[in-house]
């Protein structure tokens, strides 16, 4: 397998952006669960922006898969997890829905932070908008010293927009299947959680989400670029 020099050069930027995005996502889950009375993730040390506890919990999804996916496909995917008490979820379904929503909210917040930094850099003449946009080309540098920050902010923006959108798809095991509890009566939501708590349904949900995600994400990305 031949690895292009461009991919090797972008690897540190990709991995820092990925690890920051994943850590904020899982820490947000853990923090909101703690606020709601479930201390499971808190006792696991995951109410933190230190990536090490999250890596230790999911080394395969936070280290091996991201590296392999970048080398094989040119972009980085992976996953993490924050433990929670399913009995707490049954007792407090609305709190559990807020916990689920916290992860994508953290990703959208990071995307907004990237936008603010892009506008700041553009305002002082450090960045400029490119003639053609792409996943890792949302903004470009006006000087050679700004290339790495421009590429990092482009990746941070696009990756968090992707993670936030993907996780809101309402199929198990994605966060969206629990977040919809905010719009459902509690008894109905409890029955829904019992129905979807199956490994086979989780596998099916991931297949469906992956197969049709482009239908959702491309319009969202195009709209975000226009707003940017």
> Which residues does the annotation mark as catalytic?
26
Count CA atoms closer than 13 A to 100's CA, side-chain side.
Answer: 27
Residue the block writes with tokens 């392999």: 68
Question: Which of 204, 179, 183 lies closest to 89 in space, CA to CA?
Answer: 179
How far, in Å, CA of 118 to CA of 140, rounded?
Answer: 9
Q: How many CB atoms lie within 10 A of CB 10?
A: 21
What is the three-class DSSP state of 50? coil
CB of 41 within 8 A of CB of 176?
Answer: no
Residues 6 or more apart whose Cβ sits within 8 Å of residue 165: 104, 213, 216, 217, 220
The pair of three-digit structure tokens given for residue 106, joined into one six-digit string:
């953290």
Strands (E) located in the chain:
127-128, 140-141
How far, in Å, CA of 126 to CA of 145, rounded?
Answer: 9
The pair of three-digit structure tokens given for residue 6, joined into one six-digit string:
């461009």
């Amino acid at each position: 397998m031949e690895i292009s020099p461009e991919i090797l050069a972008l690897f540190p930027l990709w991995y820092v952006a990925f690890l920051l995005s994943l850590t904020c996502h899982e820490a947000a889950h853990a923090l909101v669960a703690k606020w709601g009375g479930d201390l499971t993730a808190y006792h696991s040390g995951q109410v933190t922006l230190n990536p090490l506890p999250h890596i230790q919990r999911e080394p395969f999804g936070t280290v091996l898969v991201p590296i392999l996916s970048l080398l094989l496909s040119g972009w980085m995917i992976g996953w993490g997890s924050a433990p929670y008490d399913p009995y707490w979820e049954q007792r407090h379904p609305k709190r559990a829905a807020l916990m689920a929503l916290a992860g994508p909210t953290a990703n959208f917040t990071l995307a907004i932070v990237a936008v603010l930094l892009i506008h700041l850099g553009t305002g002082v003449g450090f960045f400029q908008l490119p003639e053609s946009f792409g996943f890792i080309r949302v903004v470009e540098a006006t000087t050679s010293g700004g290339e790495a920050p421009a590429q990092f902010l482009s990746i941070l923006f696009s990756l968090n927009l992707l993670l936030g959108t993907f996780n809101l798809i309402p199929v198990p095991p994605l966060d969206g299947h629990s977040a919809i509890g905010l719009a459902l009566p509690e008894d109905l939501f409890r029955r829904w959680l019992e129905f979807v708590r199956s490994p086979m349904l989780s596998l099916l949900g991931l297949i469906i989400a992956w197969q049709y995600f482009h239908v959702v994400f491309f319009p969202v990305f195009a709209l975000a670029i226009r707003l940017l």
